């Protein structure tokens, strides 16, 4: 394998502790750690501890929170802090997922604060960027993605732990996937923009949006992609084990 690949499973509001444990037990039975492959799981927060326990220290796997607050504690009803998710085993935090941005009004400014807090807490941020269909149709993809990257890039001193996901909003949960060329083009744009921020290392960039067993190989054939962030196709252990096991 030419480059390490990250396969990230975003379970969204699915799989409570019992179901999550069952998923991991089945997945463990189906897969073995492989050189150059990282497996990341983003269960609902109530299932983080169960997933960590079931993974039983598996060296190629890590567990993350789907969302965190930038403050370490305080009167923020319904929110989760980095110390809280870290205590139950999270080592990664998804930041700025389009469902957070578009359904809950999360702003670029808030995404930036969260990225800063995740890094300060010593966790890995998986920062999501991506344009809506209206923005793409209006020819504004580049402008939107650059703006989203700039908003958090200024908060980053050390890029070592940072991972980015390009997820075009129109491709998430819709069955419409960006073509490998579309995805690769935006990945190049993100990388170019990182260069303008003086980033001199290869920050991994994942693609997300209706990735499944049928299209993952064509996407990962593009060397611009360092992995995939998957929702729907990550919810079944057999399907997920198959997807992460496919090789071109």
Q: Would you please indicate which residues are annotated as catalytic (active-site) residues? A: 97, 167
39, 153, 211, 244: residue in contact with ligand PGA (rule CB under 6 A): 211
Q: How far apart are CA 57 and CA 95, in angstroms?
A: 24
Tokens standing for residue 238: 């057999």
Within 8-37, which residues bind ligand PGA (CB under 6 A)?
10
Of the two residues 193 and 210, which places its CB atom closer to ligand PGA in the complex?
210
**Half-sphere exposure for 83 (CA within 13 Å, toward CB):** 4
Give the residue at shortest CB distance from ligand PGA. 231
Q: How far apart are CA 124 and CA 64, in angstroms?
A: 9
Using CB under 6 A as the binding rule, whether residue 173 contacts ligand PGA is answered as: yes
Stretch that binds ligand PGA, among 49-57, 72-80, 84-92, 166-174 (CB under 6 A): 166-174
Any alpha helices (H) in the chain, and if so which ranges? 17-30, 48-55, 82-87, 98-103, 108-120, 133-137, 141-153, 180-196, 216-220, 237-245
The answer to whether the beta carbons of residues 99 and 127 sit under 8 Å apart is no
Using CB under 6 A as the binding rule, whether residue 237 contacts ligand PGA is answered as: no
Using CB under 6 A as the binding rule, whether residue 229 contacts ligand PGA is answered as: yes
Stretch that binds ligand PGA, among 134-142, 183-191, 214-222, 231-239 (CB under 6 A): 231-239
Q: What are the residues whose beta carbons fall under 8 Å from the beta carbon of 177, sequence distance 6 or more?
A: 171, 209, 210, 211, 215, 219
Using CB under 6 A as the binding rule, whether residue 172 contacts ligand PGA is answered as: yes
The answer to whether the beta carbons of residues 167 and 219 sit under 8 Å apart is no
Of the two residues 102 and 120, which places its CB atom closer to ligand PGA in the complex?
102
Radius of gyration from C-alpha coordinates of the chain: 17
Of the two residues 13 and 29, which places its CB atom closer to ligand PGA in the complex?
13
Stretch that binds ligand PGA, among 58-66, 106-114, 181-189, 228-236 (CB under 6 A): 228-236
N-term to C-term CA, the chain: 10
Using CB under 6 A as the binding rule, whether residue 148 contacts ligand PGA is answered as: no
125, 168, 180, 231: residue in contact with ligand PGA (rule CB under 6 A): 231
Contacting positions for ligand PGA (CB under 6 A): 10, 167, 172-173, 208-211, 229-233
């Amino acid at each position: 394998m030419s480059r390490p690949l990250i396969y990230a499973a975003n379970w969204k509001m699915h799989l409570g502790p019992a179901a999550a444990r069952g998923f991991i037990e089945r997945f463990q039975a189906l897969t073995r750690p492989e050189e150059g492959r990282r497996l990341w799981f983003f269960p609902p927060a109530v299932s983080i501890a169960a997933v960590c326990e079931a993974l039983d220290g598996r060296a190629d796997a890590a567990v993350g929170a789907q969302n965190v607050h930038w403050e370490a504690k305080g009167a923020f009803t319904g929110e989760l802090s980095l110390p809280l998710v870290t205590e139950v085993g999270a080592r990664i935090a998804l930041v700025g997922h389009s469902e957070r941005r578009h359904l809950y009004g999360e702003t670029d400014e808030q995404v930036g604060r969260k990225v800063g807090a995740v890094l300060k807490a010593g966790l890995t941020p998986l920062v999501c960027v991506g344009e809506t269909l209206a923005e793409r149709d209006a020819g504004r993809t580049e402008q939107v993605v650059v703006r989203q990257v700039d908003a958090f890039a200024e908060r980053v001193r050390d890029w070592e732990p940072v991972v980015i996901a390009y997820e075009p909003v129109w491709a998430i949960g819709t069955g419409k996937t960006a073509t490998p060329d579309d995805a690769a083009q935006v990945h190049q744009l993100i990388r170019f923009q990182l260069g303008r921020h003086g980033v001199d290392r290869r920050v991994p960039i994942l693609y997300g949006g209706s990735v499944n067993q049928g299209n993952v190989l064509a996407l990962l054939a593009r060397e611009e992609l360092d992995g995939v962030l998957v929702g729907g196709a990550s919810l079944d252990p057999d399907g997920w084990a198959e997807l992460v096991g496919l090789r071109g």
